[in-house]
Amino acid sequence: MLPYNQDHHFGKVAENATMPPTLDEAIERSQDFLLSLQYPEGYWWAELEANVTLTAQTIMLYKILGIDHKYPIHKMKTYILRTQRAHGGWEIFYGDGGCLSTTIGAYMALRILGVPKTDPVLQKALKLIHSKGGVTKSRMFTKICLALLGCYDWKGIPSLPPWLVLLPSWFPFSLYDTASWVRGCVVPLTIIFDKKPVYKLNPLLCLDELYSEGKGKARVHLSFIPGDWTSNFFVGLDHVFKYMENLGVVPFRQWGIKEAERWTLERHEDSGDFHGIYPPMFYSIVSYSLLGYEITDPVVHRALESMRGFTVEREDECVVQSCISPMWDTAFVIRSLAESGLQPDHPALQKAGEWLLQKQATQHGNWFYKKRTGRAGGWAFQFFNRWYPDVDDSAAVSMALNAIKLQDDDVKKGAIKRCAEWISVMQCKDGGWAAYDCDNDREWLNCTPFGDLKAMIDPNTVDVTARVLEMVGRVKEAGDASAILPPRAIARGLAYLRREQETEGCWYGRWGVNYIYGTSGALMALALVAPSTHKEEIERGARWLVEVQNKRGTKGANGYSHTNGAREGGVAMNGNCKNMGAPEDGGWGETCFSYNDITLKGRNEVSTVSQTAWALQGLLAAGDALGKYEVESIEHGVQYLLSTQRKDGSWCEKHFTGGGFPRFFYIRYHLYAGHFPLSALARYRDRVRAGKMAK
């Protein structure tokens, strides 16, 4: 079965009601809608929309392996052509003005599929590519793909000596000092970079036109950066590595390649999944082909079949996702349904809860290579991922299970307790929590030539830390003290959130866009765990949310009117960002550009359903800290959700509000516009019924 896609499944049939529903009607409609999406096995699963890069790379992979005839390549072509924007490029989020690397990837795929460079589609794309500096200004992962096709020189790709894989976890530096997603790419890439293959397609592909300065004049080698001593150190080191390669002096080369092969094979799931995200899957399959594995080999066959799970094929087009999110989707849908009045022992919730219990990770994953203590007990993001449970999903699943009643509740409580013990072990030294690892914070790694996404590490973040503390509060609220973290761990987490609050009162959001996400999470955590000791922080956060609401002519929390527009005349962000005058609809919205420009905190030219729901959840959590203007703000936000709900109980959301790699990769979760507004409306109704909304 295909994952839920709000556009494809419902966009043409679900219209807005002529009159907004009442609060109870909206909640009931939303419940019915979400229940209709549950899979027979018990889970919920929606599409993760990213950008065309992954589909383009899949076309390339199938072509270089010679298996493109077995897959719906023509539908992938249709998808790529459909998603080109009027400016000629392809985007990483709605309205970004065109991303250089993404556009090059789409251009490459279309050329592979036989579209001539004289085609108007490619001419428009090429114009944008040249305006942004051409291929030499693109990101490293784009250059790697081009190097595999012989369209970029391997000397412009940083070296990854195979012996890097041999460094033990206790060494001053090892692979385990990089983020988990980096590890999954780097290990198979050591094989690819050692072999430096060039796959000759038939007909032969030439992409010289991508060089805006001309292929002959292009500087493809790694260059020193004036004044950046850290980056220059690694560029110099790369020159040394390349010199050694040219001399044929690479220590422990064969041993390193064998270890890379062993490491990768060991981490392939029985299902064929590797790491659970697309780039490691792509590079592992390429590395196997270089090691002599046939397409028919069971390892390669399972990996390719697993990649089908990333692929969403419909009647007219085909798209490849970056990841699969059933655990995450299921946890939040359960919570929204339980919070909105479904009985805790409702059959749908029980079935979902039993499915989640079966998915708990009980073996040590990659996190253990550095930590060397504690037992496993977390949950992952995907269907299959024994090696990489993450703290955020684990806390979310624990809260979902805590909200429902299963036939054997003791087993459920045992699973939550084991998860809490694992999360306690994963706390970082400065008090926060990261996604997949502990104390994975060597910032200098982002200065390496390979780190141009600035995502080489997995440091602790406000949103993950807040999720953990919210879990503590929810479980405590339910009276299960056995699963609460040690008092010192809680105190350290609270101290971390206090330190991270910014001057305006907001918090940065890493895995959701952006300050609205981080602020909402922090408020929900603080209000549950430390409402008295952190009252000032809660009040400041609530005031900030009111100030950035898209409602002109109302007074902010400080009593002064505000309009929530961007700076007069707009802002310049690589020439893409237009003047962001806010709508007058009572919602909230924040552009992905807020990661590039902090003056855009909480700002966008449109409101979105998920960000409005986050803001409402944060304000509603503030509770007794709310004043008159915060209450008015909540009322406006609720009206926005009611007025935008569609007749079938769903909401439409075109904008990307999920984080991947800030500034470089964003995600549109197709269920965010389903469960988050339901939770927000349900929590609002609870406060109204309790008589806590009047001021």
Q: Which residues are catalytic?
A: 392
CA dihedral 685, 690, 692, 693 (to 10 degrees): 30
* Burial category of 569 from C-beta neighbours within 10 Å (exposed 0-12, middle 13-18, buried 19 and up): exposed
Enumerate residues 6+ apart whose C-beta is below 8 A from 77.
Answer: 59, 109, 110, 113
DSSP-based three-state secondary structure for 143: helix
HSE, side-chain direction, 13 A CA sphere, residue 445: 19
CA separation, residue 243 to residues 137, 167, 224, 231, 485 (Å) = 24, 21, 16, 19, 52
Q: Look at residue 440 and give its three-state secondary structure.
A: strand
Measured CA distances, 191 to 165, 177, 188 (Å)? 10, 20, 5
The residue among 673, 687, 582 whose CA lies nearest residue 635 is 687
**How many angstroms separate the CA atoms of 647 and 203, rounded?**
51
Angle at CA of residue 503, ends 613 and 452, nearest 5°: 80
Terminal Cα-to-Cα distance of the chain (whole angstroms): 49
Query: Do 518 and 612 meet the contact criterion of CB atoms below 8 Å apart?
Result: no
What's the helix, strand, coil split of the chain in %, to 5? Answer: 50, 5, 45
Q: How many CA atoms lie within 13 A of 99 on its CB side?
A: 23
Q: How far apart are alpha carbons 303 and 281 in whole angstroms?
A: 7
As a whole number of angstroms, the distance between CA 57 and CA 281 comes to 11
Q: Are 366 and 388 in contact (CB under 8 A)?
A: yes
* Contact between 152 and 135 (Cβ < 8 Å): yes
Residue ranges in 159-228 assigned as alpha helix (H): 180-195
Cα distance between residue 682 and residue 24, in whole Å: 9
Q: Note whether 514 and 592 are within 8 A (CB).
A: yes
Q: Which residues contact 3 (CB under 8 A, 6 or more apart)?
A: 45, 46, 47, 48, 312, 321, 324, 670
Cβ contacts of residue 532 below 8 Å, gap of 6+? Answer: none
